[in-house]
Structure 1
Amino acid sequence: MRTAETSPAPGAPPAPEAAGTTGTVGATPATGTPRAPYTPRAIPPDVLARLRVVDDAGRSCVPYAATEGGEPLRCCLRSAAPGERIALVSYAPLRRWAAETGAEPGAYDEQGPVFVHAGECGGPARPGEYPFARPGALRALRRYDAEGRIAGGRLLELPEDPAEGFDRALAEAFEDPAVALVHVRAVEYGCFHFEVRRP
């Protein structure tokens, strides 16, 4: 998974989104004027500590050195640099959220591959920015209610200002009072990128 979209074996050539860009959450590029209070959430440190031993599929963590970099790290919401120690682990974001909230997502519980640093890191490199965002990228925004059941969703093609596109789509999602959180995923491979909870 050299990018937020794909999951090839380590050492595969980087895909077009490897470098990635980010958009600032809640600020216009020119003025920094506040827009909306949406926060992309990385995988929490306590969960990462467990995933680095055994992942959500019950598999042992197998670290390796990023060859060319570009892997989208869900621990710090940035792309890996060449030589960094990383791991591809299975993660169940809705299950982890349900454990915190007491929700019962039932059959909506899913798990899939995500890249993380193999050891502790400092968390999001740029707090308050939408990660892995570039104009033209396709994202699926899945909405979930307080029980962890799907409550709608939409396809988003990121505009020239990706932050503005995310802000609009998330505002639309949270207009529905039943929506408790949104998962942002790549369209092509369905990879989980990050979670946004109701402000």
Structure 2
Amino acid sequence: MSTETETETASTTAASTAYAARAIAPSALAALRVTDDAGRACAPYTVVEDGDPLRCCLRRSAPGERIALVSYAPLRRWAGETGAEPGAYDEQGPVFVHAEECGGPAPSETYPFAHAGALRTLRRYDAAGRIVGGRLLEIPEATSEGFDRAFGEAFADPAVALVHVRAVEYGCFLFEVRRP
């Protein structure tokens, strides 16, 4: 992985989390704000009610913000950096991002979008971009403990290169954690 990629993708977690949650990289965001990974033009709009999970800064949207719903292929983007060939595992789906460049993630003591009662799927991928396992995580309270344990289990397998966290309700990509 290049130094540029490492420095452009900010961690959102403070010292109280064991793993770094990664937002969508600024270079990918710049491209998505023009044409998304499905080839559609970006169509920004102004938020009326808060709550959309923004993958650029890993927080929820607020009324009055300009955002866009774009199609994003996280594994394809990662494979482009690493030379992996994910084949059929290359999927794309909807994500919310700010319509214009934002400041990126702010430090946090918990993982993004971790609220009590949330269900998350943690998909494990190997260096070739193939799924090598997964785990369902129910978040009992907004702490890092459950995520830390699940990521620890994932990275205990030497074949696991990265983990994608997705919302069970909609299947949407939320954030990525790479092998430390």
What TM-score do the two structures reach when normalised by structure 2? 0.90
Amino acid at match of 1:158: I
1:165 has 2:137 as partner: no
Change (3 A) 1:24 1:124: closer
Amino acid at match of 1:70: G
Q: Write the distance in 2 (CA, Å) between the matches of 1:143 and 1:73.
A: 22
Amino acid at match of 1:109: D
Question: How much does 1:152 deviate?
Answer: 0.2
| Partner of residue 125, structure 2 | 144
Instruction: Map 1:93-132 to 2 at 5 A.
Output: 93-126=74-107, 129-132=110-113
Cα deviations across residues 47-87 of structure 1 (Å, max 9, x unaligned)?
Answer: 00000000000000000000012111000000111010000
1:153 has 2:129 as partner: no
Greater helix proportion = 2
In the alignment, structure 2 segments of 5+ residues that lack a partner are: 1-11
| Partner of residue 36, structure 2 | 55
| Partner of residue 76, structure 1 | 57
CA contact (8 A) 2:13 2:20 kept: no
Question: How much does 1:159 deviate?
Answer: 2.4
Q: Aligned with 1:156: secondary structure? A: strand
- Alignment partner for residue 67 of structure 1, among 35, 44, 48? 48
Percent of aligned pairs with the same amino acid: 76
Q: Write the distance in 2 (CA, Å) between the matches of 1:61 and 1:129.
A: 30
What TM-score do the two structures reach when normalised by structure 1? 0.81
| Partner of residue 197, structure 1 | 178
Superposition RMSD on alpha carbons, in Å?
A: 1.5
Count of residue pairs the alignment pairs up: 169
Q: Write the distance in 2 (CA, Å) between the matches of 1:109 and 1:85.
A: 29
Q: Aligned with 1:130: secondary structure? A: coil
| Partner of residue 8, structure 2 | none
Amino acid at match of 1:191: C
